[in-house]
Every structure is written in C-alpha cells, then in structure tokens.
Amino acid sequence: MKAGDKGKIPVIVDGSGRFHSSVMGLNFDPTRVAVRSVSYGDVFGSAANTAAVPFLNQNGKMYISLTAKDDAAATGTLAYVEVEALLPGRPVMTFDRDVLNFLTTDGKNFALKLE
C-alpha cells in the first residue's frame, strides 16, 4: 500500500454453534497503519455493515466489543476493519490473544484457534 491508501480487512470466523458477543483486539505499528473504522460483519445479520465503535483505538491497539441482537452464527465475517497506510508498505496487524473472546448466550466461552 502507498501512504494514504485505505483498505477494508475482513475478519473471518469458522466455527460451529452460535455466539452472542465477541471482544476482539488488534495490535499494529501506529507509525505505519491506522484503524479508521470498524463495521459489523455478516454473522450479525441485519446489523451487518453498520458501524461499530472501538472502546480503544490508540497507541497501536484497537479493541472492540461486538454484540448480536440475536445469537450469531460462528461462521462468516465477524467484522470489517478499515485501515489507512501511513507509510508505504504492507500493513501488519496481529490479534491480541489476551483480548479475543466469544461468549454464548448462557455466558460460556468458545475455544479459539487462530490461523
């Protein structure tokens, strides 16, 4: 990407069952890339493509909580993260494993495997 280029990165989940809420954290180099927006993915049904507001988006960290009106399927696009390149090159982002969680309606956690 060139400096100033923007792109949307889909966050894909592939699982069985359904979930009610998710918390996701991303880490990145804030001198190279900025998170400009986040929107709900298709697993959230009618809320898909609506804006979601991170509760933290500074110093190379972006944390967001996503909640479904009804239980969401655990397969599909969880969210779209719009990024802007601040310097030329490939923006590198990683999941913050300490801020990655899926909960069922009854409050149970999903086992997660990152690929």
d(CA 16, CA 33): 33
Domain-wise residue ranges, the chain: 6-103
- Across the chain, how many H-helices and E-strands are there? 0, 6
Q: Which residue has the tokens 């969210």?
A: 79
Q: Which amino acid is at 113?
A: K
d(CA 13, CA 79): 9
| pLDDT above 90: residue 8 | yes
pLDDT at 69: 85
The values of phi and psi at residue 72, to 5°, are -105, 145
| pLDDT above 80: residue 114 | no
- 45-80 per-position pLDDT tens digit: 889 999 999 999 999 999 999 998 888 878 889 999
| pLDDT above 80: residue 83 | yes
Looking at the structure, give the CATH architecture of the domain made up of residues 6-103. Sandwich (2.60)
